[in-house]
Amino acid sequence: MLIALTSAAVGAAVGAYLAAPQGEPTTRAQASPPIRHASAPGTSTASPPPCDGVGCAGKDPQSTGCVTDSKSLTTQNVGKIVIYLHYSARCHAAWGGLTDAEPGDYATITTSTGDTQTAKVHWGYDNYSMMVDASDPAVGLQVCGYPPKGHGCTNTLTPPPAPTWSPHA
């Protein structure tokens, strides 16, 4: 009897959670407000980048904080998934992302120098890749998405010019 009541309570809680309205789908690599620190008048309030260019390659944009100034340079639909090319001027790094996907779908960011990182959906509907070096403004960046049937890619873009971080800018 106790097992049946416990099972019913757990089932009701899970059912209520699944039936609750969900917000708009988002990627985990969305930008959040820049981190600001108090400083003397006339000095920059931006914090130094947590990594820079090649030092960011292979690192997580969320855990490093590179998402704080990230921008989506381009998006594209590939079948029913949406792929994104994210860029952080502060970190001179880029990464790919995908949403509206299913487990097994993936997106790969590739540089014109051959560096790649892949974002694969293992559960849920979205994911993002680790970062690639985007410090050279001549290097092209492209994200390709791979749903079960077919694939598609964004246009190749170069990183926008970004000022070099300076503690007294």
Tokens of 84: 């994104």
pLDDT for the residue 157: 92
pLDDT for the residue 75: 95
pLDDT for the residue 1: 43
Quote the CA–CA distance of 158 and 75 in Å, as a whole number: 15
pLDDT tens-digit series, residues 55-82: 999 999 999 999 999 999 999 999 999 9
Going from the C-alpha of 80 to that of each of 35, 42, 75, 102, 152, the distances in angstroms are: 34, 49, 13, 10, 11
Quote the CA–CA distance of 154 and 169 in Å, as a whole number: 34
Q: How confident is the prediction along the chain (169 residues), in pLDDT tens digits per residue?
A: 434 433 444 344 434 333 344 433 333 433 333 333 333 344 344 577 889 999 999 999 999 999 999 999 999 999 999 999 999 999 999 999 999 999 999 999 999 999 999 999 999 999 999 999 999 999 999 999 999 888 999 999 998 875 554 444 4
pLDDT for the residue 19: 39
| β-bridge mates for residue 108, sequence order | 118, 144
- Nearest-5° Cα angle at 47, 43 to 53: 120
pLDDT for the residue 162: 56
Q: How far from the centroid of its chain's Cα atoms is residue 56's Cα?
A: 14
pLDDT for the residue 160: 83
Quote the CA–CA distance of 111 and 75 in Å, as a whole number: 17
Closest C-alpha to 138, from 114, 157, 165 = 157
pLDDT for the residue 148: 84
Quote the CA–CA distance of 108 and 120 in Å, as a whole number: 9
Q: Which helix (H) or strand (E) holds 14?
A: helix 2-19
Q: What is the pTM of this model?
A: 0.69
